[in-house]
Amino acid sequence: MRDNKFIKKTAWDKKIFWINTYEISPATEKAFKQMPKLKGHFTLKVDPGSPKRIIHEYGFYYCDTLIEPYCGREDFKFIYNNKVGLTRGAGIGELLKISHGAFYGRFHRDFNILKGLADARYDAWLTQLWRKKRVFGLCYCGRLIGFFAFSGNKILLHALKKEYRGRGLAKYLWSAACRELFKKGYREIYSSISTSNLPVLNLYVSLGFKFRNVQDIYHRLIR
């Protein structure tokens, strides 16, 4: 199938899940009627306030709500800790040990996707970013304990080793990484996270981030 006005192939997800994957937009009956009878997995992103009846009638099911944290240079709150540092020299093997199983995203919530494949999607994404030199290793007392991956001024992935979570270290580590992005000359940095991830929401607030662009995410699988 060729891409049309309403349906776009998502080659990255197809590579991971071994099925045809697509995004459909906008969430209108006209768009849905353009969907040919295909086998595969579809993603739909809609405003939370939009009508949902038609979405359910066409077989889509809710998976997550995403929100965009953003911060301008003038609002950023740098929190210093002399035990914290960044490295570009972390090996991908070390980083994947931290990444694997650390995330719980919309594909983990999707009952039609195996958890192992959802984990593999994040691992592959991190590997791609590492190859492009877009990953900071996060260090504490000289030890690698996490990573912070980005593309341009967008923060894409971040995680800590399990034993270092919940110890109040993330705000120092993320602060150092965000400052490096601002040093590149960006006037604003931003990300995208699940609204259910309260620890990360609070982390971004502590660094001066605000929030915008809420989207509900729906999936559909046609076998």
Q: Are residues 98 and 120 in the same domain?
A: yes
How far is 188 from 71, CA to CA, in rounded Å? 6
Q: Are residues 115 and 91 in the same domain?
A: yes
Q: Are residues 131 and 40 in the same domain?
A: no
- Which tens digits make up the pLDDT trace of 109-141? 999 999 999 999 999 999 999 999 999 999 999
2 found inside a domain? no
1 found inside a domain? no
How far is 64 from 113, CA to CA, in rounded Å? 14
**pTM for this structure?**
0.92
Q: Are residues 18 and 33 in the same domain?
A: yes
143 found inside a domain? yes
What are the start-end ranges of the H helices in the chain?
11-17, 29-33, 53-57, 92-99, 106-109, 115-131, 170-183, 198-206
Task: Yes or no: say if 67 and 205 are a contact pair by the CB < 8 Å rule.
Answer: no
Q: Are residues 46 and 124 in the same domain?
A: no
pLDDT band at 18, cuts 50/70/90? Answer: very high
The CATH number of residue 157's host domain is 3.40.630.30
Render the burial of 112-147: b for 16+ CB within 10 Å, e for the rest: ebeeebbbebbbebbeebbeeebbbbbbbeeebbbb
Q: Are residues 109 and 201 in the same domain?
A: yes
- Which tens digits make up the pLDDT trace of 171-195? 999 999 999 999 999 999 999 999 9
Q: Are residues 146 and 204 in the same domain?
A: yes
What's the pLDDT at 1? 47
Q: Are residues 55 and 83 in the same domain?
A: no
103 found inside a domain? yes
Q: Are residues 171 and 129 in the same domain?
A: yes
Q: Are residues 142 and 190 in the same domain?
A: yes
Q: Are residues 96 and 204 in the same domain?
A: yes
How far is 136 from 149, CA to CA, in rounded Å? 6
- Which tens digits make up the pLDDT trace of 195-210? 999 999 999 999 999 9
164 found inside a domain? yes
Domain count, the chain: 2
pLDDT band at 34, cuts 50/70/90? Answer: confident
How far is 212 from 219, CA to CA, in rounded Å? 22
- The domain of 52 spans 7-65+217-222
Q: Are residues 195 and 107 in the same domain?
A: yes
What's the pLDDT at 36? 67
24 found inside a domain? yes
Query: What mean pLDDT is predicted for residues 57-82?
Result: 96
